Amino acid sequence: MERRTYSPKQHETHLGRQWFVVDAEGATLGRLASVVAQSLRGKTKPGYAPHMDVGDFVIVVNADKVVLTGKKETQKFYYRHSNYPGGLKQTSVAQMRRTHPERIIEAAVRGMLPRTLLGEQQLKKLKIYAGARHPHASQQPKPLEIAGSGALRHSA
């Protein structure tokens, strides 16, 4: 009897997509980002394929209440460059939290996804909101909890 490795087809990946909601209040940034990245990639599914987008949609609420350990609030910086001489800009986490708290979580999750078109496609399934409300109630998202060990746990 010949055994073959199952590879999901493109039309099958959309059938098993689910929506999950994560409350970032009191959650540590790195642990939250790793759980979200695993769910976006689909690594917890039995039909996971590293070359295909088989992951779920993830909604993150209360992004402005995420916790950073140590002195990262004042010592961690986000950098961007305007491509002009002397155009390096830096923004601290405290400043980013005041202006765009969603970008803190987005940058952490982006760093855990592949740096390819597939990673960009997976990142589009991430929806982040600073407050407790989100406009995706019609998708009936299930809660996605962050376990203490950083493991992924789906609540039914």
Residue 92's pLDDT is 96
Which domains does the chain show, CATH number per domain?
Answer: 15-70+98-154 (3.90.1180.10)
**Has residue 151 got a pLDDT over 60?**
no
DSSP secondary structure of the chain:
---------HHHHTTT--EEEEE-TT-BHHHHHHHHHHHHHTTTSTT--TTS----EEEEE-GGG-B--TTHHHH-EEEEE-SSTT-EEEEEHHHHHHH-THHHHHHHHHTTS-SSHHHHHHHTTEEE-SSS--S-GGG-PEEEEE-TTS-EEE--
51-96 confidence digits (pLDDT tens): 999 999 999 999 999 999 999 999 999 999 999 999 999 999 999 9
User: Tell me: the pLDDT tens digits for 85-128?
Assistant: 999 999 999 999 999 999 999 999 999 999 999 999 999 999 99
Question: pLDDT confidence of 149, banded at 50, 70, 90?
Answer: very low
* pLDDT-based confidence at residue 47 (cuts at 50, 70, 90): confident
